[in-house]
C-alpha cells in the first residue's frame, strides 16, 4: 500500500482531544475538529453534534486535496491555510504537517486573528503527537486486525 | 489508507467507484443510499453540475456492521467520469482502500471503458498503487440497455485479471449490493493480511 495505515490509540487520542477541547475555549470557537487527509474524522470538540461532521470532514478533505492540486500547478509545495468567510459562520482550515487537517468553525464572538494565533500553537502540539502515531503505525509487530478470521468477515455479509 | 480507531473501536475504509462518463457510478451510490437503513448511513453528498454530471465527487458514508466489536465504516466515493476531470479523479483516489470499476455494457461505450480503465491504472500508479494488488471489483452495468456486449466479451476486454465481477442495472439495484459486498470483503481481507493475520 502506498500510504501507511493510520491507527489511533487511547493515549494519543486523549492528548488530541485535550488539544481540540482547549482550542475551542482559547479561540472562543464554536466547533473544532481534526480529520485525516482522506476525510476521516479523528476528533471533534465544541458544538460538534449540531453539525454533520462526517460530511464536513469529507468535503474539507476534498477541498484540501483540490487546493493541493492547485499548489502543485503553481509549483508551491502546499497552501497550508484556508479561510472561508460567511455572513455568520467562518471556517479556518489548517493543514498540519501535511498529515492531518485542523478545522475551526467560529462566528462573531471571536476574531480571525485570535483563531490564527491559537491554531498555530495547537499545530505545534499536534505535530509531535501525529509523528508518534505514524511511528507506532509503521512499527513492526503491530497487528491491529490480525486476529480477525475469514469467517468473521463472511459473517458481516450474511443477510 | 484505512483508519483504525482503538478508542471508538472503528475501522474506516475508503472505496472509490471509477468508470467512464454516464456509466452509472452515481446511480450505484443513489441506490445504496435509498435502500440502506437511515441509521446505517450518513448524508449523501453530490458535487454535481446543473445537469447532474458529477463535478468533483459523490460521497456516501455507510456502516456495515461489527467485526469482533469493531464497527466497520465505509466511505463510498465516485469520481467524475468525464475525460477532462482527470485532476479531480487523481485526488479522489488518494488513500483508496478498494476500487469498483463500473463498466458501461453498451458496445458503443467499449472504447470509453477501455480508456477509463487505462486512466485508472495510470492514476493508481501515480499514487503508488497497482491495479493488480489493490482490492478491485468489476461491474458490467446497464444490462437492460439495447446494443450491449455479451458478458464474456466484456470480461475478456476489461477483466483480464479475473477480479470478482457482476452484472448490474444500477437504477433498479440489480448487482449493486453484490458489488459493494464483494469489494468490502476484499478490503477487509486485505486489511487482515496487512496486519499479518
3-class DSSP assignment, residue A43: strand
Of A58, A59, A143, the CB nearest to B197: A143
Q: Are B95 and B14 in contact (CB under 8 A)?
A: yes
In this structure, the dihedral spanned by the alpha carbons of residues B181, B39, B37 and A157, taken in order and rounded to 10 degrees, is: 30
- The whole-number pLDDT of residue B108 equals 97
pLDDT the model gives residue A2: 47
Complex ipTM, two decimals? 0.80
Per-residue pLDDT, A155: 79
Checking if the pLDDT of A23 tops 70, the result is yes
* Chain B residues with beta carbon closer than 8 angstroms to that of A153: 67, 185, 188-189, 192
- The domains of chain A, with CATH numbers, are 10-156 (3.30.450.30)
Nearest to B179 by CA among B5, B68, B29, B6: B29
Classify B120 as helix, strand or coil. Answer: helix
Mean pLDDT on A6-33 = 95
pLDDT score, position A16: 96
Q: What is the pLDDT of residues A60-88, one digit of tens each?
A: 999 999 999 899 899 999 999 999 999 99
Mean pLDDT for back-to-back runs of 10 residues, chain B (197 residues): 84 96 96 94 89 89 89 95 90 94 98 97 94 96 97 97 97 96 93 75
Nearest to A146 by CA among B68, B39, B114: B68
Distance, CA of B90 to CA of B79 (rounded, Å): 9
By CA distance, what is A1's nearest residue in B? B129
> How much is the pLDDT for B52?
83
Pure H helices in A45-157: 53-73, 112-138, 150-156
Q: Is the pLDDT of residue A1 over 50?
A: no
Q: What is the pLDDT of residue B48?
A: 87
A6 pLDDT more than 90 = no
- Note whether A70 and A80 are within 8 A (CB): no
pLDDT of residue A3: 57
Which pLDDT tens digit goes with each residue over B145-194? 999 999 999 999 999 999 999 999 999 999 999 999 999 999 999 988 87
Q: What tens digit of pLDDT does each residue of A99-149 get?
A: 899 999 999 999 999 999 999 999 999 999 999 988 887 766 555 566 777
Strand, helix or coil at A38? coil
**Chain B window 123-162: which residues touch A at a Cβ cutoff of 8 Å?**
127-129
Find where cell 476528533 sits. A43
Which of B132, B93, B104 shows the shortest CA–CA distance to B25?
B104
pLDDT the model gives residue A152: 80
- Identify all chain A residues contacting B91, using CB atoms and an 8 Å cutoff: 62, 65-66, 68-69
Give contacts of B13 with chain A, Cβ < 8 Å. Answer: none
Nearest C-alpha in A relative to B124: A2
CB-based contact (8 Å) between B197 and chain A?
Answer: yes
The domains of chain B are located at 3-194
Helix (H) or strand (E) holding B18: strand B10-18
Residue A4: what pLDDT?
A: 62
**A4, A17, A40: which to substitute to probe chain B, counting the most B Cβ within 10 Å?**
A40
Please report the DSSP string for B178-197 in residue order: HHHHHHHHHHHHHHHHHTT-
Strands B10-18 and B45-48: unpaired
* Chain A residues touching residue B2 (CB < 8 angstroms): 5-6
Domain B3-194 has CATH 3.40.50.300: yes
Amino acid at each position: 500500500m502506498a500510504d501507511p495505515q493510520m491507527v489511533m490509540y487511547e493515549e494519543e487520542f486523549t492528548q488530541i482531544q485535550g488539544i481540540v477541547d482547549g482550542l475551542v475555549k482559547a479561540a472562543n470557537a464554536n466547533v473544532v475538529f481534526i480529520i485525516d487527509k482522506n476525510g476521516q474524522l479523528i476528533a471533534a470538540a465544541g458544538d460538534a453534534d449540531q453539525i454533520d461532521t462526517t460530511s464536513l470532514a469529507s468535503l474539507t478533505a476534498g477541498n484540501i486535496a483540490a487546493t493541493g492540486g492547485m499548489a502543485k500547478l503553481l509549483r508551491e509545495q502546499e497552501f497550508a491555510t484556508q479561510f472561508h468567510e460567511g455572513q455568520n459562520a467562518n471556517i479556518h482550515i489548517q493543514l498540519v504537517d501535511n498529515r492531518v487537517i485542523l478545522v475551526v468553525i467560529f462566528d462573531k464572538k471571536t476574531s480571525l486573528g485570535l483563531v490564527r494565533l491559537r491554531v498555530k500553537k495547537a499545530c505545534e502540539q499536534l505535530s509531535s503527537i501525529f509523528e508518534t502515531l505514524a511511528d507506532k503505525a509503521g512499527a513492526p509487530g503491530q497487528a491491529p486486525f490480525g486476529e480477525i478470521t475469514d469467517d468473521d468477515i463472511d459473517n458481516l455479509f450474511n443477510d | 489508507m484505512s483508519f483504525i480507531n482503538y478508542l471508538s473501536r472503528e475501522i474506516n475504509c475508503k472505496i472509490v467507484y471509477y468508470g467512464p462518463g454516464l456509466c452509472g457510478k452515481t446511480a450505484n451510490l443513489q441506490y445504496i443510499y435509498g435502500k440502506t437503513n437511515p441509521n446505517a448511513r450518513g448524508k449523501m453528498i453530490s458535487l454535481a453540475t446543473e445537469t447532474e454530471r458529477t463535478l468533483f465527487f459523490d460521497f456516501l458514508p455507510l456502516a456495515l456492521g461489527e467485526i469482533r466489536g469493531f464497527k466497520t465504516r465505509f466511505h463510498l466515493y465516485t469520481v467524475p467520469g468525464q475525460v477532462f476531470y482527470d485532476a479531480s479523479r487523481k485526488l479522489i483516489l488518494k488513500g483508496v482502500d478498494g476500487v469498483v470499476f463500473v463498466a458501461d455494457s453498451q458496445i458503443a461505450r467499449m472504447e470509453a471503458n477501455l480508456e477509463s480503465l487505462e486512466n485508472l491504472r495510470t492514476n493508481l500508479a501515480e499514487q503508488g498503487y497497482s491495479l493488480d494488488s489493490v482490492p478491485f471489483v468489476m461491474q458490467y452495468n446497464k444490462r437492460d440497455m439495447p446494443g450491449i456486449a455479451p458478458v464474456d466479451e466484456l470480461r475478456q476486454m476489461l477483466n483480464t485479471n479475473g477480479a470478482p465481477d457482476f452484472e448490474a442495472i444500477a437504477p433498479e439495484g440489480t448487482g449493486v449490493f453484490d458489488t459493494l459486498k464483494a469489494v468490502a470483503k476484499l478490503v477487509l481481507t486485505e486489511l487482515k493480511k496487512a496486519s499479518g493475520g
